[in-house]
Amino acid sequence: MSGSETQRAIAQAVGRVKNVRTVPLVRLAHEDDTERAIVVVRVGLPPLLPLTEVVTVIAHVQLTVARLAPGGAAVHVEPDVAADEATPTEAIVIRAME
């Protein structure tokens, strides 16, 4: 499977995970020193999703990606819980920490 096919397959599978609204980013890369595969996935989540559910969704996304990614790939999930495009994710994370 080519890189773009893998990205599409990952985006489609992650899009079916409960509470994932959107999958705006799937990026495949390699670590500079080890050439280990890295998969970065950004997922849009409902803005009122409780933190405990955010953690569960992230775990499910990681498992879903690991099944489709190259063997031994590091999987990074970036949740976006902003209610709208104008609210940066960092603002949500800072508010959650307070």
Q: How far apart are CA 75 and CA 60, in angstroms?
A: 12
The domain locations on the chain are: 3-97
pLDDT digits (tens, 9 = 90+) for 40-50: 999 998 878 88
* Cβ neighbour number for residue 82 with a 10 Å cutoff: 16
Nearest to 79 by CA among 27, 9, 38, 19: 19
pTM of the model: 0.79
Q: How far apart are CA 98 and CA 91, in angstroms?
A: 11
Nearest to 41 by CA among 51, 53, 67, 32: 67
In this prediction, residue 58 carries a pLDDT of 93
Nearest to 64 by CA among 2, 3, 4, 6: 6
pLDDT digits (tens, 9 = 90+) for 7-22: 999 999 999 999 999 9
In this prediction, residue 97 carries a pLDDT of 45
Q: Give every residue of the chain whose pLDDT is below 70, as ranges.
A: 1-2, 82-98
CATH number assigned to the domain with residue range 3-97, chosen from the 4 options 3.30.70.1450, 3.30.420.40, 3.40.50.300, 3.30.70.1350: 3.30.70.1350
In this prediction, residue 84 carries a pLDDT of 61
In this prediction, residue 59 carries a pLDDT of 95
